[in-house]
Amino acid sequence: MIILTILLFSVFINSLLFVPFINLLYKLKFQRQNQKTKDAFEKPTPIFDRFHKSKVGIPIGAGLLMIFSTTLFFPVMLLLMHYFFVPITQVYQLDLEVKIIISTFLSFGMLGLFDDLKKTFTLNSNSFFGLRLRHKLIIEMIIAGIISTWLYADLHIEIFHIPFIGVIHLGPWYIPIAALVIIAFCNAYNITDGLDGLAGGVLMIALMAFLVISASILDTPLSIFIALWLGALLAFLYFNVYPARIMLGDVGALAFGATFAVVGLILGKTLALVVIGGVFVVEVASSLFQLLSKKYLGRKLMAVAPLHLWLQLKEWPEPKIVMRLWLISIFFAAFGLWLALLTH
């Protein structure tokens, strides 16, 4: 009941904030730019441009508002529950768990914000924070390495549980493997965030599954965070479904992908994380296989990648692609939830 109340509170507050926030972004001219104006670090993408030219001028940066509201109300809700003597059950030490969740949310959000600011306001600069792919990846590796070390050293997580096989103890090897998972989902979310409502809707479905799992293991702090995040996401989707009035931006995409992975790792359901986030996995895999095919086979595996762009090339309407992938995500979430509760 309390978690549902927090979720509804988050929906209400974020819904009130989004309209003035969108107007503010227009005034600041924090809007999606034409691909042709991007700097020389990025290769031309004519197919992408053809399908997304109508999105030029739409405000970006919704992730900034959602990160702010969720981060602000997370400790407030915990303090209110403590003040009113509402029982808080937890799996890990409260301050350490909160530190890891919030640090992931904010650090990857700041990285994405630098990228958004660069693309929007300093398009022709050759500074470090032009964020070439390799620069961004290096920073992601550093942040993910720190977060993974905290998961191992502070929360003492060092196992992967594989259904029907058992527990695999990784010891210190958990750190690089967890970092790889974080980086993978960070970029997978960013790749998926290409159509109106796509990435946000898939994440909404996945977080509902995570909320059930966190409630089943009685991890109140994590349930509160997911409820606040989910509420913000529901409010965002009202303005992001086709035709979008606002976009997430890298500030949200990088933060959401990385934090999604960290939540899954904290829940101790790594396989369920991969299954529940199956659409993200398919999207990033399609791009990865395309790159490997071009590099080592000298030809494209698909006409274009990722998957949602290939479907657009096949003349699927944008809302149809989004709705179909939402339905597939529901299946992945249900199957991943079954796996997670099976081993609970």
Residue located via tokens 């507050």: 13
What share of the chain has pLDDT > 70, as a percent? Answer: 91
All structural domains of the chain with their residue ranges: 96-217+240-342
DSSP 83-141: HTT-----SS-HHHHHHHHHHHHHHHHHHHHHHHHHHHH-TT--SGGG--HHHHHHHHH
**Residues 191, 196, 200, 202: is their CA dihedral positive or negative?**
negative
What is d(CA 225, CA 230) in angstroms, rounded to the nearest whole number? Answer: 8
| Side-chain-side CA neighbours of residue 292 (13 Å) | 6
Residues 312-316, mean pLDDT to the nearest whole number: 89
**CA torsion sign, 163 to 164 to 170 to 176?**
negative
| CA pair distance 310, 316, nearest whole angstrom | 9
Whether the CA torsion 36, 39, 40, 43 is positive or negative: it is: negative
* Predicted confidence (pLDDT) per residue in 124-134, tens digit: 444 434 467 88
For residue 53, is pLDDT > 80?
Answer: no
Tokens representing residue 7 in the block: 């979720």
Is residue 300 within 8 Å of residue 294, measured between CB atoms? yes
- Quick: pLDDT tens for 226-255: 999 999 999 999 999 999 999 999 999 999
pTM for the complete prediction?
Answer: 0.92
Mean pLDDT of the chain: 89
| Owner of token pair 């606002």 | 246
| Cα–Cα distance for residue pair 326/152, rounded to 1 Å | 33
Residues 181-206 pLDDT 10s: 999 999 999 999 989 999 999 999 99
Question: Rounded to the nearest 5 degrees, what angle is found at the Cα of 340, between the Cα atoms of 339 and 344?
Answer: 120
133-175 pLDDT, tens digit each: 888 899 999 999 999 999 999 999 998 877 777 788 899 999 9
Contacts of 248 (CB under 8 A, 6+ apart): 60, 62, 63, 193, 199, 200, 236, 240, 256
Predicted pLDDT at 126: 44
As a dihedral over the C-alpha atoms of residue 130, residue 134, residue 139, residue 143, rounded to 10 degrees, the angle is 140
Residue 51 · residue 195 · CB < 8 Å: no
Residue 258 has pLDDT above 90, yes or no: yes
| Bridge partner list, 160 | 168
Does residue 267 carry a pLDDT above 70? yes
